[in-house]
Structure 1
Amino acid sequence: MLREDRWVGHYLPHWTSPERSRARYEIDGSGLRLRIDADQPDWREEDAPLRVSNLQTGVFSGPAGSPRGTHRHRPDGLVVRTETPEHVLWAPTAGHVEVTVSASVDEGCMLAAWLVGTEHLSEEDTGEICMFEIDADAVGEGKSHARCGVKAHSDKRLTTDMAEVVVPLDASKPHTWTAVWGPSGTIIGCEGIVVKHVPHAPDYPLFLLIDLFEIGPRSETAGLYPKTAHIHRVHGWDTSSAVP
C-alpha cells in the first residue's frame, strides 16, 4: 500500500479534477509501477494531449477560483478548480534525495523526478530542482540522455540552469539518481557520479514529485497499454535543521 503519511497519489490536483489527476499504479515485487492506461483522461483539457501518473509528498492550494497553488505551470490565468487541503507531508528546505527507477521505453513517455516549491508560505517560492527527465526515445542500451538542473520558473531569486547529460547506462534498467541541495548549491548525480552542479538552490520547502507522462496523441492501438515505469526505491533526508 502507498504510505498516505508520505505520498499523495495525484498530480497537482488543485489545477484539475480528481479523476484527471489520479495516479494509476500498482505495487509489485520490484517496487511501484506507474501506469498510463488506455482509458486514462488528459490531465487537463487545456494541456492536452497529456496524461500523467504522479506521486508527490504533499499538496497545497488556495480556495477554488484563486490563483494560489503549488507549481503554477501556466501564466495565462490558471485558477484552482479543486480546492485541496494543505498537506505538507515531506518538504525540506535543504536535503538529500535518492531515487532508484527504471525509465519507460514506451512511445511518447517521459519519466521525471522534481523537487518543486510548495508555495504554501509564499507564492514567490516557485523554484524547482529537476533531478531528471528521461524521454523514452532517449534511452539506449549503452547510454541514455536526460535533462537535469534548476528551473527558476517565476522565482526571480534563482537562475534557470538546465543541461542535457549523457549517462553510460540503459535507463530502462534500475539505476539511482541523487539530489543534494542547501546553502552551497545543488548537486545532481547518477549512479554516484556528479552530472550537474548549480551554485544556488531554492531555500524554501520543496515537495518531491515522481511522475510518468505520456505526451502527445494517444496510441491508436489499445494493446500498447499500459505504458509503464518503475520506482524501486526512494530515500530522503531533511537536512534543514543542520543549516545555520
Structure 2
Amino acid sequence: MWWDGIVTREALPAPPSRAPDLADDFTGPDLREDVWIDHYLPHWTTPSRSRARYDLDGDGLRLRIDEDQPDWRPEDAPLRVSNIQTGNFSGAAGEDRGTHRHRPDGLTVRSPGETRLLWTPSAGRIDVTVSAATDPGSMLAVWLVGSEHLDPRDSGEICVFEIDAEAVRGSEVTARTGIKAHHDDRLRTDMTEVTVPLDATRPHTWTAIWGPAGTVIGCEGRVVARFAQATDYPLILMIDLFETGGRSHTYPKTARIHTLRGWHA
C-alpha cells in the first residue's frame, strides 16, 4: 500500500494513448547511436574519463563502475561515472559554454564536439524502469538538464530521482527529487526527499511529467512530488551511475536500466 503517513498517494495520469516518441528496451546487441551518447558531459573532460562502462545482456542496460575506471576529472576525484545521455552541446576549447555547468569551480571545455540533440523535449513525459545500485558509495540518478545550446540560462534541471545505495533499505527506498535552477534565474532550486515502500533492487518505474502547469514526479504509478515550476526549453535526458566515495569493496558496482518511454508534449 502506498502511504505517506497521512493519505494514500494519488494515481499518476495515464500515459498518452499514442505511441511513444522514444522507446528503448535495451535489447539490441549495441546501444542505439540514434538516441544515446555513452559519455558523461564529455566536453568538460577527456574521452577516456567520460566514457561509460556498460553491458547489454538481454535484461536491459547494466551500467558499471569498474575498479580500473578513471575519475571523471582529476580535480573532482574521487568521482567516477558511467552515464548515457540523449544529447550534448559544447563551446570551443577553453570556453565555459556547454551543457550542464553544474560545478562552481570553473568548468572549461577540454574536448569540444559537435552539438548533438538526439532527443530533447521541452515538455512531455518520461517513464523509466530501473533497478537501483546497492554497492556502497554508489548512486543511480535520472536527470533532465537544459542543453544550453540556445541560451546559457537554459540550464535548469528536473531531477527525476537520485538514489544513494545506502538509501535502499529492503522494503523501502528514499530518493531525492525536484528542480535545480543551476544558472537559470527564472527558476528556484526546490529539492525534496521522498520515501516509497518498494524493493528498489527490483525493476520499478519512475515518471516525470512537465510543462506549463508545472512538474509532477511519480513512482510505480503514484505521485510522489509536485512542483509549481518547470523548464520550458530543450532538455537532455541523462541516466547516471556514480561512485562518489572512492574505491572500496568489490567491483563492478552496477545498476540496471530496463526500459524507457518518452513523449513530447
TM range, smaller chain: over 0.9
Whole-angstrom distance in 2 between the partners of 1:74 and 1:108: 20
Number of equivalent positions:
236
SS in 2 for 1:186: strand
Over aligned residue pairs, what C-alpha RMSD do you find? 0.7
Whole-angstrom distance in 2 between the partners of 1:16 and 1:24: 16
1:138 to 160, 163, 167: 167
Residue aligning to 1:233: 259
Whole-angstrom distance in 2 between the partners of 1:149 and 1:76: 23
Residue 68 of structure 1 aligns with an amino acid whose one-letter code is: R
Whole-angstrom distance in 2 between the partners of 1:32 and 1:184: 33
Unaligned runs of 5+ in 1: 240-244
The answer to whether structure 1 residue 45 and structure 2 residue 81 are counterparts is no
Equivalent residue runs for 1:102-141 within 5 Å: 102-141=131-170
CA positional deviation for 1:214: 0.5
CA positional deviation for 1:76: 2.7
Unaligned runs of 5+ in 2: 1-29
Whole-angstrom distance in 2 between the partners of 1:234 and 1:28: 16
Whole-angstrom distance in 2 between the partners of 1:168 and 1:211: 23
Residue 213 of structure 2 aligns with an amino acid whose one-letter code is: S
% identity of equivalent residues: 67
CA positional deviation for 1:77: 2.2
Equivalent residue runs for 1:1-244 within 5 Å: 1-219=30-248, 224-239=250-265
CA positional deviation for 1:73: 1.4
Detail structure 1 runs of 4+ shifted over 4 Å in the superposition: none
CA positional deviation for 1:75: 2.6
The TM-score with structure 1 as length reference comes to: 0.95
CA positional deviation for 1:118: 0.2
CA positional deviation for 1:99: 0.5
Whole-angstrom distance in 2 between the partners of 1:232 and 1:78: 33
What are the Cα deviations for residues 9-46 of structure 1, in whole angstroms up to 9, with x where unaligned? Answer: 00000000000000000101210000000100000011
What are the Cα deviations for residues 177-211 of structure 1, in whole angstroms up to 9, with x where unaligned? Answer: 00000000000000011011001100000000000
Residue 52 of structure 1 aligns with an amino acid whose one-letter code is: V
SS in 2 for 1:111: strand
